[in-house]
Amino acid sequence: MARTYHHVTSAGAGTKSGASWANAMGEAELETDLEGSLGAGDIYYVKDGTFTLDSTIDFSARNGTQAEPATIIGVKSGTTNEGANVTLSDFSTDDADKPKFDISTYNFIGNNYVQFMCVEFEGETNNTVETNDYCLFWKCNFNQDYASSANRHCLLVNKGNIIDDCEFTSAKASGVMLYSDYNKVINCYFYDIPDATGGRGVTTDYHGQMIENCIFDNCSLQIDTNGYDGTAVRFNTFNDGAYDIFADSGSGSWCITNNIFESSSNGAVHFTTQADSNWFDNNHGDDARCNDMWDGVETTSPIYKDNNVSTGDPDFDDAAGGDFKISSSSPCYGTGSQISKGV
């Protein structure tokens, strides 16, 4: 299948066909094309400022494929390269240069096998961005400012999605809702999501998730399991949450390893009722007795906890400024377990 390249700016240019920057689509042409023509292998290069929606963009009837996903890529405002000549160096990897979709009270709805890269989404409604299965979000920013806090999400995804190196913040809503199984949330930053009712970094609504190498800072519930089983939480840093991992009754087969828990006000790991075969290993807590780490977690078998636990102030470089690096003098430096990865 021939790959089609589309060029998009906020105002559009020339004939607005999208064939080149001189004839770039505007927001209205982009919406029409996504909803009516998006197909396998299509690439949309998006640049120049803010795209203000006046209606929902809904291309849930269109798909990429596993071999040829469709892709929406933010590129730098000064990019002149076109089509196949656009390279990674043209991508808007810096926050200041990301094109923004101002979704307002509408929604941005995709389907399967679509990649979103280097763009910002800002909105005021539930599920500001929603996709179905096997999508990728890379270096995207999400900011939701909805007036109500109940069951609201910046991003809702279903099965087998990858959310990598993205940022989420919201005064009221949650960052990500994992609405089906086998999603990966890696290298992400969840911050200032403090609402006592809706403020969650990640909410899991099914089994088999992976949450790895993320930073959670000042979210009311940093991770809410909703009672589902089988999630791996590894290599994350949690700071200043009410609860860092909150599990309703029945959550089992969780693997919580190599995390740093700091300044959780109620309990870093809180299971309302302990289920079977949860594993807690090589974690670091800021309380000498680890009370902040294991609030509500029963000690009866089969549960494995307090293995190779380290304690004390982790000595972040500048937590107030969002810098959670640690130095060699930190008590948690070098105390995690090494996990081998298969070839």
Using 50, 70 and 90 to split pLDDT, how confident is the model at 313? confident
Same domain? 196 vs 48: no
Question: What confidence tens digit (pLDDT) does each residue in 97-148 have?
Answer: 999 999 988 999 999 999 999 999 999 888 899 999 999 999 999 998 766 6
Residue 331 contacts residue 314 (beta carbons within 8 Å): yes
Q: Which two tokens stand for residue 290?
A: 């680890």
Residue 62 contacts residue 39 (beta carbons within 8 Å): yes
Instruction: Say what the pLDDT of residue 71 is.
Output: 98
Closest CA to 216 of 198, 250, 196, 192: 192
Closest CA to 120 of 156, 160, 168, 78: 168
pTM of the entire structure?
0.93
More confident residue, 229 or 26: 26
Name residue 43's beta-bridge partners.
Answer: 5, 71
**Structural domain boundaries, residue 297:** 132-343
pLDDT at 214 over 90: yes
Share of the chain above pLDDT 70, in %: 87
**Mean pLDDT to the nearest integer, 31-39:** 96
**Mean pLDDT to the nearest integer, 287-307:** 55
Same domain? 300 vs 161: yes
Share of the chain above pLDDT 90, in %: 61
CA distances from 216 to 117, 162, 327, 337 (A): 22, 18, 19, 21
Q: How far is Cα 221 from Cα 246, in angstroms, rounded to an integer?
A: 7
pLDDT at 292 over 90: no
More confident residue, 243 or 19: 19
Same domain? 170 vs 306: yes
Dihedral sign for Cα 291, 292, 293, 299, please: positive
Tally of CA atoms within 13 A in the half-sphere of 133 that contains its CB: 7
Instruction: Say what the pLDDT of residue 294 is.
Output: 63
Instruction: Say what the pLDDT of residue 81 is.
Output: 98
- Look over the chain and give the mean of its residue pLDDT values, rounded to a whole number: 88
SS3 83: helix
Q: How many domains does the chain have?
A: 2
Same domain? 58 vs 178: no
Name residue 304's beta-bridge partners.
Answer: 279
Q: How far is Cα 225 from Cα 204, in angstroms, rounded to an integer?
A: 5
**Mean pLDDT to the nearest integer, 262-275:** 77
Q: How far is Cα 173 from Cα 190, in angstroms, rounded to an integer?
A: 12
pLDDT at 327 over 70: yes
Residue 236's Cβ-count burial label (10 Å; 0-12, 13-18, 19+) is: buried
Same domain? 117 vs 152: no
Residue that terminates a domain, selected from 123, 158, 180: 123
Residue that terminates a domain, selected from 123, 151, 174: 123
Using 50, 70 and 90 to split pLDDT, how confident is the model at 301? very low
Residue 320's Cβ-count burial label (10 Å; 0-12, 13-18, 19+) is: exposed
pLDDT at 158 over 50: yes
Instruction: Say what the pLDDT of residue 38 is.
Output: 96
Same domain? 237 vs 290: yes
Edge-to-edge, what's the strand order for the sheet holding 221-224?
A: 57-58, 108-109, 129-130, 153-157, 174-178, 200-204, 221-224, 243-247, 267-271
Q: Which two tokens stand for residue 272?
A: 């309302």
Closest CA to 30 of 40, 20, 45, 41: 45
Same domain? 37 vs 185: no
Same domain? 263 vs 336: yes
Give kind and range of the element (H or E) at residue 57: strand 57-58
DSSP letters, 1-49, are ----EEEEESS--TT--SSSGGG-B-HHHHHHHHHHT--TT-EEEEESS
| Most confident residue range from 20-24, 103-107, 172-176, 278-282 | 20-24
Same domain? 160 vs 99: no
